[in-house]
């Protein structure tokens, strides 16, 4: 099986030992505490689950800036984005060496993790601008990732953490949320060696389904892990439970048996385009995938990134050997009326726009909201039904 990033074995930061876990929960009640941002909570979940291996906690300012500027910590570890605990008000934890981090996304703000505080540093406007510009490729406050990053606060609380729960993800998505440890174990149980990961924050239409099948066939892979983001999205995106139901229905009906795993991870979408694509590759390596599908405008939003920037970053900016996972580069896929199947557009240079079944996202949402199923060449009818029920429930 492929090695995790940065270490020989996966080192999740969740405290699995029951006795130790109980003692830490008890200790947390007496510690100074802070309710962290949703992004900081998501970082803790990802570290707890082993996805952000080999990090042992939140980065300090120097490491965060190093990752933003050249994708390396001061110690030389390759990591494509800063992993920070940014706090707005430090009055409750000032001077503390050990603190409890409370969950902003669960009622009652239960303790999510315990952190040993190595430093509390106030980041300057220039440092925040540098990190924002490098990670997101823009400082435009209208960019949802930029807005979220800059709304958390300016105090970077760094140091190792011990994770005590997985926020709302385990309770809300018991059939879907999986840690990197669990996915590695399941891949091993399947006996899969070559494993393709597919990232999604949306329901999967015919083009996505066929793209996974193309990757399976082209790579002669054993299976595909459909790995959906379960955390916070921008306004207007389809909620995770609806996506989950739609994807499960598609896999159940249209994939060969024992070729697909449907799982999810607890993280808030960054919409950081190329940098997020590299992060996606890193944590898919940690969960045991040997290949990641990177398509057109992967992890993008609006017009901030070029159509294939998320592919070229692996050739131009990721140093050779930094990651072991390989990238399956995909073009835009659509149903060809000429060939009566879904194809990658680059593979059919003789086609014109009229030869494809193409629908804009806006048009699809309008149709679903009106109870009109998109054509079966675009969306499987069983998937369309789930999405129609959701959109009509909004009225």
Active site members: 201-202
**How large is the C-alpha radius of gyration of the chain?**
21
| Token couple for 394 | 């909004």
What element of type H or E holds 356? strand 356-357
Q: What is the DSSP string of 154-220?
A: SEEEEEEEEE---TTHHHH-TTTB--HHHHHHHHHHHT-SSEEEEEESS---HHHHHHHHHHHHHHT
What phi and psi, each to the nearest 5 degrees, are found at residue 394? -75, -20
Query: What is 131-156 written as a DSSP string?
Result: HHHHHHS---TTSHHHHHHHTS-SEE
277 preceded by cis ω (within 30°)? no
Strand, helix or coil for residue 47: helix
Half-sphere exposure of residue 330, counting CA atoms within 13 Å on the CB side? 31
HSE, side-chain direction, 13 A CA sphere, residue 170: 11
DSSP 8-state code for residue 303:
T
- 14 phi/psi in degrees, rounded to 5: -70, 140
Residue 249 · residue 382 · CB < 8 Å: yes
| Contact indicator for 102, 40 with CB cutoff of 8 Å | no
For the record, the structure tokens of 94 come out as 């000032």
Element (H, E) at 45: helix 38-48
Q: How far apart are CA 314 and CA 181, in angstroms?
A: 26
Give the integer Cα–Cα distance in Å for 11 and 54.
7
């Amino acid at each position: 099986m492929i090695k995790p990033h940065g270490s020989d074995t996966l080192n999740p930061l969740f405290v699995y030992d029951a006795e130790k876990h109980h003692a830490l929960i008890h200790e947390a009640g007496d510690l100074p505490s802070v309710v962290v941002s949703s992004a900081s909570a998501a970082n803790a979940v990802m570290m707890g689950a082993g996805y952000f291996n080999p990090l042992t906690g939140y980065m300090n300012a120097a490491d965060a800036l190093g990752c933003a500027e050249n994708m390396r910590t001061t110690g030389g570890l390759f990591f494509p984005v800063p992993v920070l605990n940014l706090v707005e008000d430090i009055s409750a934890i000032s001077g503390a060496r050990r603190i409890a981090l409370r969950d902003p996304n669960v009622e009652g703000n239960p303790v999510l993790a315990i952190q040993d505080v190595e430093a509390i540093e106030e980041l300057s406007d220039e440092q925040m601008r540098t990190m924002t510009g490098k990670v997101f490729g823009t400082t435009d406050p209208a960019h949802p990732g930029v807005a979220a990053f800059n709304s958390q606060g300016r105090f970077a609380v760094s140091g190792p953490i011990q994770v005590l729960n997985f926020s709302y993800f385990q309770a809300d998505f018991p059939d879907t949320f999986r840690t990197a440890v669990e996915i590695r174990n399941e891949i091993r149980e399947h006996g899969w060696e070559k494993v393709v990961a597919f990232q999604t924050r949306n329901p999967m239409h015919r083009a996505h389904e066929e793209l996974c099948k193309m990757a399976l066939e082209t790579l002669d892979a054993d299976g595909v892990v459909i790995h959906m983001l379960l955390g916070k999205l921008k306004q207007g995106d389809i909620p995770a439970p609806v996506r989950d139901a739609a994807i499960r229905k598609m896999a159940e009906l249209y994939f060969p048996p024992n070729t697909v795993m449907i799982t999810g991870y607890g993280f808030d979408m960054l919409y950081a385009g190329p940098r997020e694509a590299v992060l996606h590759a890193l944590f898919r390596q940690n969960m045991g995938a040997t290949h990641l599908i990177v398509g057109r405008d992967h992890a993008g939003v609006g017009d901030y990134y070029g159509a294939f920037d998320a592919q070229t970053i692996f050739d131009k900016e990721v140093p050779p050997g930094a990651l072991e996972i390989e990238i399956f580069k995909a073009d835009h896929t659509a149903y060809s009326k000429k060939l009566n199947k879904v194809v990658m557009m680059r593979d059919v240079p003789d086609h014109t726009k009229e030869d494809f079944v193409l629908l804009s996202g806006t048009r699809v949402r309008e149709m679903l909201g009106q109870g009109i199923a998109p054509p079966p060449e675009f969306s499987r009818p069983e998937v369309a039904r789930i999405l129609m029920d959701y959109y009509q429930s909004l009225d």
